[in-house]
Structure 1
Amino acid sequence: MIGWLQGTIKNYYQRGNRHIALISSGGVGYEVQLVQRDWVTLHLGDEQERWVHQVVSPDNIQLFGFSAIEERDLFRELIGVNGVGPQAALALLDALQLNELLRALIHSDLKTLCRAQGVGKRTAERMALELRSRLVNTVAPTDTEHVSLESSPQDLIATLETLGYETHEIQSALQRLNSIGGPQDGDDDDAWLRACIKLMSG
């Protein structure tokens, strides 16, 4: 599987609504689909490197390229959601900046998610439901703009409510955690947040 590619831009073109770069590397030309905002910055002869996700189907092999590994990894999370294909995932990353997309998924901001071409309300709801706990675990604790907790149960409850959880299920999760002495991976705010989400998502 191809995960990263470095080479020279030999050509770039559109195929329908898809934006393709032909990247020459090691004597081979790779067609890589990019988000439009990256594609419009290309120039022939440029040296480029891209984090790549490879999609293999019975009759085709597709490469999707990203300027940052975080974008590539989020793309992989998105296409793991039932009903979200590579084109919809790429449309989301094209319509929204990475932090904006993460925030929309974590906070179930359906209006923002539906700004992407081909993403309807049902798809947006499914993405937010399936991804919010995983994204909080892996991304949000490093971004204080997304999740900011003070050391009090009220703030923890308020934060979880903004993620779409009901007050009664949050309180139940807190009671269960208190009964076992708190989170197993630490005692800071992020540990409590992760542990509550894990219990409520189980």
Structure 2
Amino acid sequence: MYAFIEGEVCEKLNGSLVLLASGVGWQLNCSNNTLQAAPPVGEKMRCYTYLSVREDAMELFGFATREEKEMFLQLTSVSGIGPKTALGVLGAMPLRDLNLAILLGDVNALSRAPGIGKKTAQRIALELKDKISQADVSAAAAPSQGAAAPSLSSDAVTEAIEALIALGYSSTEARNAISQIKDQTDKPEELIRLALRAMAGF
């Protein structure tokens, strides 16, 4: 119903923001990441929004980026994960780290989020792993920045680098990581997994 709301930051509360737009103060439930990304009170901000409608309540959720909103929707598609729990997961770590934890099936990292036990963390990793992987690879349509490296020219390597860039890494980070492990496999998915592990220090 609402794609986004753009207005002046009036209040920063515990778990929510108030934006003044068109004479209306909109209270948006937000993750810690969005609260940290919000500018000081009195400055303008755009929040991407999601309206949750239940029999007993209507709640508006706000996100600093489209990517965070998309992850929120992915999380709420998991059985047993409601909007408030999804916000807790989003606020427990940077979005890039959350993507990484899901891709690697890092149950320990996921279970550090408030309200998330081991079984729920396993369910998140199981249900979202393929969705995140496919989205990352298919979204990597933009050409990589910087000069191309001749030694990283195979289709599998190129696909892996583009996927890492789509995940949020810089072109340099992606190329450096892939260059370290590119001889270990010729499968894009394995290259991505190995590069993510290398960058995570595993």
State TM-score, norm by structure 2. 0.68
Q: State the SS of the aligned residue for 2:78.
A: coil
Alignment correspondent of 1:2: 2
Q: State the SS of the aligned residue for 1:102.
A: helix
Larger Cα-atom Rg: 1
Letter in 2 for 1:60: A
Alpha-carbon distance, 1:151 to partner = 8.2
Alpha-carbon distance, 1:42 to partner = 4.8
Letter in 1 for 2:13: Y
Alignment correspondent of 1:115: 112
Q: 1:5-154 alignment to 2 at 5 Å?
A: 5-14=5-14, 19-40=15-36, 42-140=39-137, 142-143=163-164, 154=185
Gaps spanning 5+ residues in structure 1: where? 164-202
Letter in 2 for 1:23: L
Offset from partner CA, 1:85-140 (integer Å, 9 cap, x none): 11221111111111110011011000111111111110111111111111100115
- Alignment check: 8 A CA contact 2:33 2:94 kept: no
Alpha-carbon distance, 1:57 to partner = 1.0
Identity %: 28
Letter in 1 for 2:190: T
Aligned residues: 159
Change (3 A) 1:153 1:67: same
Q: Does 1:159 align with 2:190?
A: yes
- Alignment check: 8 A CA contact 1:32 1:63 kept: yes
Change (3 A) 1:111 1:57: same
Change (3 A) 1:148 1:130: farther
Alpha-carbon distance, 1:72 to partner = 0.6
> C-alpha distance in 2, partners of 1:22/1:83?
28
Gaps spanning 5+ residues in structure 2: where? 138-161, 195-202
Q: State the SS of the aligned residue for 1:116.
A: coil
> C-alpha distance in 2, partners of 1:81/1:55?
16
Q: State the SS of the aligned residue for 2:187.
A: helix
Alpha-carbon distance, 1:154 to partner = 4.5
